[in-house]
């Protein structure tokens, strides 16, 4: 339906959608809740936070957080220039364009800086999981938004390998995961020298399934 109307509601806001980007999923709202809980817990709401959203797609994660956190600024990246154009249009429509930049890139390869919060909902389906997907998903979402390589974990490995270089000392990385991959993703982050948060290391969604992993230095 969203492909016909050209828009999708996410965390109470309407985002333009098109074939260049993943149609935002309700599951991903749990990443927003995790990020906002972290901000409250650490007393960061009034701080000028620097956010980085890897694989921004429609921009739904970054733009929502910038709208919720008026002191924050953010950088969104994607390998798809079509997705970046869509995300920039969404940032303008939702009134956060003056605090947002977008650049094309391959995960963290060209990123420099110190970010308080790195967010990512990377492609996390294994090759064998893509073929049987419903027609709706397989036909409308771009393959590079879904395909996580042989075991679905390629993007996590790439991101984890460089995350420590761009995290502020008190910064956190928060990644969405497929429900069966919590331990695997936690292991990748630990293997890259990051520490899982005690309270929020592996976070469940509203249905009680593991949905995101948070770690820091």
Ligand X SMILES: C[S@@+](CC[C@H](N)C(=O)[O-])C[C@H]1O[C@@H](n2cnc3c(N)ncnc32)[C@H](O)[C@@H]1O
| In the complex, least distance from residue 94 CB atom to ligand X, rounded to whole angstroms | 15
Positive/negative CA dihedral, 71, 86, 77, 125:
positive
- 92 Cβ contact partners less than 8 Å away, ≥ 6 residues apart: none
| In the complex, least distance from residue 151 CB atom to ligand X, rounded to whole angstroms | 16
147 forms beta bridges with: 125
First to last CA, the chain: 42
Contact 130, 53 (CB under 8 A): no
Q: Between 170 and 188, whose beta carbon lies closer to ligand X?
A: 188
* Residue 25 in tokens: 């999923």
Q: Rounded to an integer, what distance in angstroms lies between the CA atom of residue 56 and that of residue 79?
A: 9
| In the complex, least distance from residue 103 CB atom to ligand X, rounded to whole angstroms | 10
Q: Between 46 and 113, whose beta carbon lies closer to ligand X?
A: 113
Q: Between 131 and 199, whose beta carbon lies closer to ligand X?
A: 131
Q: Rounded to an integer, what distance in angstroms lies between the CA atom of residue 112 and that of residue 114?
A: 7
Q: Rounded to an integer, what distance in angstroms lies between the CA atom of residue 90 and that of residue 21?
A: 12
Binding residues vs ligand X (CB under 6 A): 21-22, 24, 28, 55-58, 60-61, 77-80, 83, 106-107, 121-123, 144-145
Q: Between 28 and 212, whose beta carbon lies closer to ligand X?
A: 28
| In the complex, least distance from residue 170 CB atom to ligand X, rounded to whole angstroms | 24
Q: HEC string of 8-68?
A: EEECCEEEECCCCCCCCCHHHHHHHHHHHHHHHHCCCCCCCCEEEEECCCCCHHHHHHHHH
Q: What is the CA radius of gyration of the chain?
A: 16
| In the complex, least distance from residue 43 CB atom to ligand X, rounded to whole angstroms | 27
| In the complex, least distance from residue 85 CB atom to ligand X, rounded to whole angstroms | 12
Q: Between 44 and 156, whose beta carbon lies closer to ligand X?
A: 156
Q: Between 47 and 104, whose beta carbon lies closer to ligand X?
A: 104
């Amino acid at each position: 339906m969203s492909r016909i109307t050209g828009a999708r509601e996410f965390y109470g806001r309407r985002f333009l959608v098109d074939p260049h980007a993943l149609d935002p999923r309700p599951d991903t709202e749990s990443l927003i809740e995790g990020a906002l809980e972290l901000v409250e817990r650490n007393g960061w709401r009034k701080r000028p936070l620097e956010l980085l959203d890897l694989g921004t797609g429609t921009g739904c994660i970054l733009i929502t957080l910038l709208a919720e956190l008026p002191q924050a600024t953010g950088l969104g990246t994607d390998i798809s220039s079509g997705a970046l154009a869509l995300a920039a249009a969404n940032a303008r429509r939702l009134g956060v364009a003056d605090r947002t930049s977008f650049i094309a890139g391959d995960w963290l390869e060209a990123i420099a800086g110190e970010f308080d919060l790195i967010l990512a909902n990377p492609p996390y389906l294994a090759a064998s999981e893509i073929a049987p997907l419903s027609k709706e998903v397989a036909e409308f979402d771009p393959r590079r938004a879904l395909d996580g390589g042989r075991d679905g974990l390629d993007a996590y490995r790439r991101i984890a390998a460089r995350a420590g270089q761009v995290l502020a000392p008190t910064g956190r990385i928060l990644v969405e995961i497929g429900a069966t991959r919590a331990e695997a993703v936690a292991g990748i982050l630990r293997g890259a020298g990051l520490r899982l948060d005690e309270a929020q290391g592996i976070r469940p969604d509203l249905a009680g399934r593991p949905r995101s992993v948070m770690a820091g230095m």
